[in-house]
Amino acid sequence: MADHPPIEAYDEIDSTNAEARRRAEAGEGGPVWITARRQTAGRGRRGRAWSTEAGNLAATLLTTTDAPAAEAAQLSFVAALAACDLADTCLGAGAAQLKWPNDVLVFGKKAVGILVESGARADGRLWLAVGIGINLAHAPTDIERPATSFAEHMAGPPPKPADAVEVLAGKFESWRELWATQGFSPISAGWTQRAHGLGERCEARLPNRTLTGVAEGMDPDGALRLRLDDGALERITAGDVFFGGAT
């Protein structure tokens, strides 16, 4: 497994992404992983709350890049692949699948949330906060879509957060090196191999409209190809996708 940046652990923090942002805005660039046993104000995509109970993992990689913002956002797919690798390591090959853009499903239910944030640095580069929350021991119940935890599918106890983040950080670095040296192609290929719902009907909820059709695959820039009922092809670059009315 690839070497990875150092890992810093907190007992409690408002949000690992918020801490990464504070450091970035103070001029730090990492790379460093920031983890916490508990978050008091964790956040998910689109401003949703993300609960981190004891035994779950909250981790954010603070790093910098020369890539433009649209390209740097591809690290969300890198994060999803790393989390999928962790799930397979703990639960067996094939336990996890990826739902566009970066949800990790364990036996069909969401177990991982990913939030990538960025900002401009004084030197013209971008800082990135790649946040990953993983339900190792507990899954929330008061959410829109069914969720699960690793523990629900293990005969013994789930991995401790400190052990899980070591595996996650190594897997992330392996995929990140591929992305940095070969571009998005190997990331897209890895995602497609583990994709949930390709060839199936889905509903794409966009900021200003809702579309239905068949998910055909992912474009080279990470957009989802959605074949509409009238035969037109729509590229989905931002939004939430639902399959079968549940996921």
Domains of the chain: 7-193 (3.30.930.10), 201-243 (2.30.30.100)
106/94 Cα distance (integer angstroms): 9
220/34 Cα distance (integer angstroms): 30
Asked if residue 224 lies in contact with residue 100, where contact means CB atoms within 8 angstroms, the answer is yes
Q: Residue 45: what pLDDT?
A: 46
Name the burial class of residue 210, with classes exposed (0-12), middle (13-18) and buried (19+) by CB atoms within 10 angstroms of its CB.
exposed
Asked if residue 158 lies in contact with residue 65, where contact means CB atoms within 8 angstroms, the answer is no
CB-based contacts of 65, cutoff 8 Å, min separation 6: 72, 125, 126, 128
Query: Token pair for residue 40?
Result: 């008091």
User: In the chain, what percentage of residues exceed pLDDT 70?
Assistant: 92
Residue ranges in the chain modelled with pLDDT below 50: 1, 45-47, 49, 246
Q: Residue 46: what pLDDT?
A: 45
Q: Residue 220: what pLDDT?
A: 87
Residue 9 φ then ψ, to 5°? -120, 135
Is the C-alpha dihedral spanning 241, 218, 33, 65 positive or negative? negative
Angle among Cα 121, 119, 241 to the nearest 5 degrees reads 160
Q: pTM for the complete prediction?
A: 0.90
117/162 Cα distance (integer angstroms): 23
CA distances from 53 to 101, 151, 168 (A): 25, 13, 19
